[in-house]
Amino acid sequence: MAAIRLQAGYSSVASMIVGLILVIVVSLIADTTVFAVEQSQSLNEAADGLRLNAEDMVAHGGMGDAKAIVHHCAETARYAEVLIKRLSTSHPGREEGVASLHDVIRHCKRVGEIGIHADPGVLLNPAIKARTAARAAVKALGFAK
């Protein structure tokens, strides 16, 4: 009879341990899923910001607003940097996308160096190149709408 009690006690302790392990595993999976969804939303927001600022940058260039071109180009470069930092190494199209994002930053840096006092037509050439690189990055990374 003592053996039966001992065996029953062992069974309940083992089931408690298994139950605790299951709770831990389920909560880890839930946390990982929530983190992945938050990271995906963050990347989508950065890609949207990149796309919108690149388009606005060139649109303002067509209107002759040099100050707006420089502003939107700086924002475009900032979003490109955010995307480079947040992309995982396993993200599909990462190599091509990051290369295009570096092009965005390079062309926007050129716009900033030229400055707001230049003729908007002079700013428009590197701004269009930055927009083209931004579009290529968004497409390569799979954020195209």
* Average pLDDT of the chain to the nearest whole number: 83
- What tokens does 48 get? 């949207």
pLDDT in tens, 7-35: 545 567 667 677 677 767 666 665 555 44
Side-chain-side CA neighbours of residue 137 (13 Å): 33
Beta-carbon contacts of 128 under 8 Å, excluding residues fewer than 6 positions away, are 58, 61
Position 105 in a domain: yes
Query: What is the count of structural domains for the chain?
Result: 1
Please name the helix (run of DSSP H) or strand (run of DSSP E) that holds residue 33, with its range, or none. helix 2-62
Reported as a single tens digit per residue, the pLDDT across 59-70 is 987 788 899 999
Asked if the structure places residue 19 within a domain, the reply is no
Query: Does residue 34 belong to any structural domain of this protein?
Result: no
With respect to residue 18, please indicate whether it lies within any of the assigned structural domains: no
Rounded CA-CA distance 105/120 in Å is: 19
Q: Could you tell me the CATH number of the domain that includes residue 135?
A: 1.20.120.660
Q: Six-digit token pair at 8?
A: 């029953």
Q: Is residue 79 part of a domain?
A: yes
Which domain, by its residues, includes 94? 41-140
Query: Does the pLDDT at position 139 exceed 60?
Result: yes
